[in-house]
Structure 1
């Protein structure tokens, strides 16, 4: 049983990651922590998680709100770009966009008391070597925890970090992926932390070379055909077709990439990916088009660079096995199981 803290920004596939973590029999979800990111302000992010867990019948899982803004961030206009992304799609999708990142209704329960950073620190330090921290949004909460408590790195079992790009072009700038770009100072702190981690970049998530890992309308139909009374599959079938269509038409992908679920799944099946050896990875924090670029030191350069070789970068993915695992886990929400 893997004990997990899942740190999310509730942007589409974060919802699927929460559902996966809440149902998989090999995962004990200690808490979900939230951070401002692609879905909007911290209230929206947190309410989405609370509502998702209610659909899953898991209102027992603590949900703690965290960082409401990045440590430094970028211009206000640029930071809001992902939230206003749908405005560029109105002419094509019209009323159907109401299913894309809608304002969350009031949840049935409030967030659990206690800031996300405090919960991460308390849970990890009270259970040294047992907790895996999975970050699928900007790394703000994790970075603040490392800054607050130097003992955290030694107490974590491992980290799984979604972010960066090395071969696939970035989705914010040509060089930068959203999670890293949204809080590059935080990402740099996390990647420089002396803790074993796997970094999951766009290369194995949002690239048609791993098309067999993406959610399609056919996959939703398969889940519906197998379901008799499954509220989670019903929710996915209602919500995610518009996500599939947007990623097909705007990003030229064959389906909706499930970056967050892939990252989380490595907690229980790390061999889903092939990785580099442990190396030093860093982040560009200077202003400009390269801000947020993730840099892997994997060669021999003339200028000396030093840093902890604690990051393994995922380079390949067994997409078919991953997608089957996801579908099998969603089937566990069948009422009566």
Structure 2
């Protein structure tokens, strides 16, 4: 069983990732840490996680609030791009948009005392070689943990990082993916760290080459057809059709890409993806269009540079097997008759 800490920013697929991690028998979810990102301020992000775990019946899992802003960040208007994105969709989807990233209701419990960074450090250092840190949002918490405790690189079992893009165009700029772009300085710290990493880019998540991994209305219908009393599936079937429609119409994908769930699944089944050999991966900090671009050192360059070759980049995915795994895990929430 793989022991993980899941670091999220509570966008739509983060919710599915938390539900997946909390129920999958191959995982032991040691805790969830939160970071400001695509879903909004840290209070919203944290409350979404608390409500999601309550729905899952897993109030035993600690939830620690983390970074409320990036280390440096970008222009204020640019950082608010996800909010402006929602406003652009109002004319097309109307009232249906109320189910897209809605304000979280007041949770039934409070976040666990203590900062996310301290929880990551304390948990990993107390269990050397046993904890995998899975990040599905901006990398601020992970970077601060590595800066605060340099021994973390030796104590972590592995890092799973959702972020970056190499062949698939970026979703913030043509060159940049959101998680890396949202805090490029933090991303560089994490990706430059001398620790075993698997990087999960847009290439194997938000590209129709891996369409079999995306959630569609047909998938929701199939899951509902075999269910009797599953409150988690009821929530997914009620809330996620709008996500499916947005990603079909705005991003030209066949369904809703489950980037975050894929990243969690790779923690215990890395064979789901094809990866490169270990490479050094850096992050561009300059400019506007290129800021947040991930760059892999693949060949031989004349100018000095580079660093530890510790990052395997995912290049392909067994989407059908992944989606079957997701459906089987959601079925774990079926209530006994």
Q: Is 1:299 aligned to 2:304, yes or no?
A: no
Q: Which residue of 1 aligns with 2:272?
A: 272
1:1-337 → structure 2 map (5 Å cutoff): 1-336=1-336
Structure 1 residues 177-234: Cα deviation after superposition (integer angstroms, max 9, x where no partner): 0000000000000001110000000000000000000000000011111110000000
Shift, 1:145, TM fit: 0.3
Structure 1 residues 120-139: Cα deviation after superposition (integer angstroms, max 9, x where no partner): 00000000000000000000
Name the SS of the counterpart of 1:238 in structure 2: helix
Shift, 1:63, TM fit: 0.3
Unaligned runs of 5+ in 1: none
Name the SS of the counterpart of 1:203 in structure 2: helix
Off by >4 Å, runs of 4+ in structure 1:
none
TM-score, L = length of structure 1: 0.99
Separation in 2 of the partners of 1:86 and 1:246? Answer: 10
Name the SS of the counterpart of 1:71 in structure 2: coil
Separation in 1 of the partners of 2:197 and 2:182? Answer: 20
Structure 1 residues 17-70: Cα deviation after superposition (integer angstroms, max 9, x where no partner): 000000001100000000000000000000000000011111110000000000
Separation in 1 of the partners of 2:184 and 2:199? Answer: 14
Name the SS of the counterpart of 1:96 in structure 2: helix
Shift, 1:286, TM fit: 1.2
Contact 2:133 2:160 in 1 (8 A): yes
Name the SS of the counterpart of 1:84 in structure 2: helix
Contact 2:297 2:306 in 1 (8 A): no
Separation in 1 of the partners of 2:298 and 2:168? Answer: 17
Unaligned runs of 5+ in 2: none
Separation in 1 of the partners of 2:26 and 2:202? Answer: 26
Aligned pair count reads: 337
Shift, 1:287, TM fit: 2.7
Shift, 1:303, TM fit: 1.5
Shift, 1:300, TM fit: 1.3
- What RMSD over aligned residues (CA atoms) do the two structures have, in Å? 0.7
Contact 2:161 2:197 in 1 (8 A): yes
Name the SS of the counterpart of 1:266 in structure 2: helix
Shift, 1:306, TM fit: 2.5
Separation in 2 of the partners of 1:29 and 1:176? Answer: 30
Structure 1 residues 250-270: Cα deviation after superposition (integer angstroms, max 9, x where no partner): 000000000000001001110
Contact 2:118 2:145 in 1 (8 A): yes
Separation in 2 of the partners of 1:108 and 1:181? Answer: 33
